[in-house]
Amino acid sequence: MKTYFEILVVVVFALFSALYFAPTGETQTVVETAGQKFKNIKVLNDMPADQMGQVMNIMSASLGVDCKMCHVSNDKDFEKDGIDHKDIARKMIKMTWEINKTFFEGKPEVSCNTCHVGHERPVALPSLLPPPPPVERPKQPAVKPTVDEILAKYETALGGKDALAKVKSRYIKANRVEPDGKTVEPEEIWLKGGKYRSETKYADYVVTELFDGKNALKLGNTEAIELKAFEAEQMKRDAQLFANPDIRSIYAKLDFRFLNRIDGREVYMVTATTADNRREQLVFDVLTGQLVRRVASAMTVIGQFQYQVDYSDYKDLGGVKLPASTRFAMPGITWTRKIVEVKNNTVDDAKFAAPK
Ligand code: HEC
Ligand code: HEC
């Protein structure tokens, strides 16, 4: 019975990830497992190999550590054993699955962060200080705003239909600011009709990201870097959504959910459903009408992997209002893009051609 249940759970996870990870327009039937792809797997054998990076980032962020806590290095030889924490982590993964199976009908309710909350060791004793006051939702409006009203307000916030229509393409100079606030890499970004190219310059390394309207790719100098289906999906969405109030053309369905409060501001929470039935969250500032946040996620074998984009500091850049600051965040990885300069209508289509 137990064996059957375990098999079932694996099949369900595999199916789920196939749904999650199939690139748009393609049906993915065979999912390569971590057991097949990686060298020294004892627990995550049946996990889709595509999830490895996300799972490692979830574990690291949940414990507030970097890879080296469990591995011999932060950037190589991940298959090696010998660090006790790696074996403890194997036990912890099994324990987490066991808890969900036994007490939560197999639903991924408990993950590493449920207990660890960013710490290496969970704290068992309750605090003797009074708890912080609960965050309450603002009073809900008597008449719900429609999505069309929210989008119209957003269009106005960007500068209006006429100003937006004048911008056919954008060249953006920006800085990628790392979490320490000091390390800065120069970036160039080209945007045109949902197509996107960015080049980020590290000391002796240029990372290029490209979405040509159909396919996404990533290069380190001139060599291809493996792009996961979820990453490609997010690159595409970021390109489509940038300063574009025509959000209806991007998603299959949009629903206003409720009025919320984030950082003291009232916001509209909108659920956006993609054509392949994945849900994202769009957050609009009630007062300014601006799009302030997008949240997407992908299911993994140890819970949701979250990807959050925060838009802020909207200002006049090239005749329309753009978010001068965009913060990208996922477990273990964050950076902020700060726009320095915008030039309109100078981008040639050749910029989006995939290298031969
Ligand atoms: C809390 C411990 C822990 C942390 C932190 C951690 N890992 Fe792991 N990692 C593991 C365990 C455990 C395995 C083996 C899983 C198994 O046996 O099923 C593993 C396996 C791997 C593998 C597969 C290696 C192979 O070929 O067998 C890669 C790649 C990997 N980790 C990368 C990373 C990266 C990159 C980071 C940092 C972002 C990271 N890990 C952080 C515990 C950890
Ligand atoms: C139900 C609560 C719970 C969950 C869920 C959980 N842990 Fe733990 N974990 C603990 C406790 C409690 C300890 C401390 C045990 C001790 O001190 O001996 C611990 C210790 C650890 C340690 C050793 C830390 C050290 O410095 O000794 C690692 C590594 C670890 N957990 C990784 C994970 C990972 C990875 C996950 C998710 C796959 C996870 N844990 C999920 C409760 C949990």
Chain segment 119-129, per-residue pLDDT in tens: 999 999 999 99
Any ligand 2 atom below 6 A from CB of 119: no
- Looking at residue 195, its pLDDT comes to 95
**Among candidate residues 242, 198, 235, 188, the one with its CA nearest the CA of residue 213:** 235
Q: Does one domain contain both 182 and 298? A: yes
Residue 222, pLDDT above cutoff 80? yes
- Looking at residue 177, its pLDDT comes to 98
Average pLDDT of the segment spanning 27-37: 84
- Looking at residue 354, its pLDDT comes to 83
Tell me which of 78, 88, 97, 226 to substitute to probe ligand 1's pocket, judged by most ligand atoms within 8 Å of the beta carbon. Answer: 78
Residue 8, pLDDT above cutoff 50? no
Question: How distant, in Å, are the alpha carbons of 143, 153, 164, 290 from that of 147?
Answer: 13, 10, 20, 13
156 pLDDT tier (thresholds 50, 70, 90): very high
Q: Does one domain contain both 264 and 170? A: yes
Query: In terms of DSSP bridges, do strands 320-330 and 265-273 run parallel, antiparallel, or are they unpaired?
Result: unpaired
SS3 130: coil
Question: How distant, in Å, are the alpha carbons of 137, 139, 166, 189, 227 from that of 354?
Answer: 47, 50, 27, 15, 14
- Looking at residue 27, its pLDDT comes to 53
Name beta bridge partners: 260. 267
Residue 96, pLDDT above cutoff 70? yes
Q: Does one domain contain both 21 and 66? A: yes
Q: Does one domain contain both 248 and 174? A: yes
Any ligand 2 atom below 6 A from CB of 110: yes
Q: Does one domain contain both 90 and 154? A: no
38 pLDDT tier (thresholds 50, 70, 90): very high
**Looking at the domain assignment, is residue 121 inside a domain?**
no
> What does the mean pLDDT of the chain come to?
91
Q: Does one domain contain both 172 and 300? A: yes
- Looking at residue 1, its pLDDT comes to 33
Question: CA 338 from chain center: how many Å?
Answer: 18
Any ligand 2 atom below 6 A from CB of 114: yes
Neighbours of 245 (CB within 10 A): 21
Print the domain residue range for 104.
4-116
- Given CA atoms 54, 56, 61, 67 in this order, what sign does their dihedral have? negative
Look up tokens 């036990």; give the residue: 91
Residue 12, pLDDT above cutoff 60? no
Average pLDDT of the segment spanning 278-305: 97
6 pLDDT tier (thresholds 50, 70, 90): very low
Residue 312, pLDDT above cutoff 60? yes
Identify which ligand lies nearest to the alpha carbon of 108: 2
- Looking at residue 355, its pLDDT comes to 80
Neighbours of 318 (CB within 10 A): 20
Residue 103, pLDDT above cutoff 90? yes
- How far apart CA 271 and CA 253 sit, in angstroms, is 8
Name beta bridge partners: 237. none
Average pLDDT of the segment spanning 29-53: 95
115 pLDDT tier (thresholds 50, 70, 90): very high
Task: Look up residue 172 and give its two tokens.
Answer: 């953006």
Any ligand 2 atom below 6 A from CB of 2: no
Tell me which of 43, 100, 113, 115 to substitute to probe ligand 2's pocket, judged by most ligand atoms within 8 Å of the beta carbon. Answer: 115
Q: Does one domain contain both 170 and 242? A: yes
Q: What is the pTM of this model?
A: 0.89
- Looking at residue 30, its pLDDT comes to 83
Q: Does one domain contain both 316 and 240? A: yes
**Looking at the domain assignment, is residue 127 inside a domain?**
no
**Looking at the domain assignment, is residue 298 inside a domain?**
yes
Tell me which of 92, 109, 117, 119 to substitute to probe ligand 2's pocket, judged by most ligand atoms within 8 Å of the beta carbon. Answer: 92
- Beta-carbon contacts of residue 275 (< 8 Å; ≥ 6 apart): 24, 251, 252
Identify which ligand lies nearest to the alpha carbon of 69: 1
**Among candidate residues 274, 344, 282, the one with its CA nearest the CA of residue 153:** 282
**Looking at the domain assignment, is residue 218 inside a domain?**
yes
Q: Does one domain contain both 97 and 191? A: no
Structural element, H or E, at residue 82 = none
- Looking at residue 240, its pLDDT comes to 93
**Looking at the domain assignment, is residue 137 inside a domain?**
no
- Given CA atoms 270, 275, 280, 282 in this order, what sign does their dihedral have? negative
- Looking at residue 268, its pLDDT comes to 98
Q: Does one domain contain both 177 and 299? A: yes
**Among candidate residues 326, 299, 121, 330, the one with its CA nearest the CA of residue 239:** 326
Query: Could you tell me the distance, in angstroms and rounded to a whole number, from the CA of residue 78 to the centre of ligand 1?
Result: 6
**Looking at the domain assignment, is residue 178 inside a domain?**
yes
Q: In this structure, which residue's CA is closest to atom 30 in ligand 2?
A: 89
Query: What is the number of structural domains in the chain?
Result: 2
- Looking at residue 29, its pLDDT comes to 64
Burial of 272-308, coded b for 16+ CB within 10 Å and e otherwise, reads bebeeebebebbbbbeebbbbbbbbbbbbbbbebebb
Residue 199, pLDDT above cutoff 80? yes
Identify which ligand lies nearest to the alpha carbon of 77: 1
CATH assignment of the domain containing 318: 2.50.20.10
* Residues near ligand 1 (Cβ within 6 A): 38-44, 52, 56-57, 59-60, 63, 65, 67, 69-71, 78-79, 85-86, 89-90, 332
Identify which ligand lies nearest to the alpha carbon of 332: 1
**Looking at the domain assignment, is residue 15 inside a domain?**
yes
Query: Could you tell me the distance, in angstroms and rounded to a whole number, from the CA of residue 202 to the centre of ligand 1?
Result: 26
Residue 266, pLDDT above cutoff 80? yes
